[in-house]
Amino acid sequence: MKFEPGPWMTTGSGILLLGMAWLLFWLGPAFHLFTADARWAHNFAFALILIMVGIAYYRPSVSTWIISMIASFITIPTELAYWSGMTATIIELVLLALLSIVAVVEWMMKRPLINPNPKSAFWLKIHLPVLTYIGIAHMPLVFFMVRWTYSTPYLTYLPVEHEYSTSVFNAMILVLMVIAIAERYVKEVREFSVTRSGFYWAVLMLIIPLASIGIFGQ
Question: pLDDT tens digits for 78-136?
Answer: 999 999 999 999 999 999 999 999 999 999 999 989 888 888 988 998 899 999 999 99
22 within 8 A of 50, measured Cβ to Cβ: yes
First-to-last alpha carbon distance for the chain, in angstroms, is 37
| Torsion of the alpha carbons at 101, 105, 118 and 177, rounded to the nearest 10 | 30
- For residue range 28-76, list pLDDT tens digits in order: 999 999 999 999 999 999 999 999 999 999 999 999 999 999 999 999 9
Q: Which of 70, 46, 75 is nearest to 56 (CA)?
A: 70
**Residue 169, exposed/middle/buried by CB under 10 A (0-12, 13-18, 19+)?**
buried
pLDDT above 50: residue 1: no
Q: Tell me the pairing of strands 192-193 and 188-189.
A: antiparallel
Reported for 93-101, long-range contacts at CB under 8 A and 24+ positions apart, including other chains, are 93/48, 95/48, 95/52, 95/67, 95/70, 95/71, 96/48, 96/51, 96/52, 96/71, 98/67, 99/52, 99/55, 99/56, 99/64, 99/67, 99/68, 99/71, 100/55
Strand partners, 193: 188
Mean pLDDT of 180-188: 88
Where do the structural domains in the chain lie, given as residue ranges?
A: 11-216
Give the integer Cα–Cα distance in Å for 28 and 51: 17
Give the integer Cα–Cα distance in Å for 83 and 172: 25
Kindly give the residue spans of alpha helices, DSSP state H, lying in 73-183.
75-79, 85-109, 118-142, 164-183
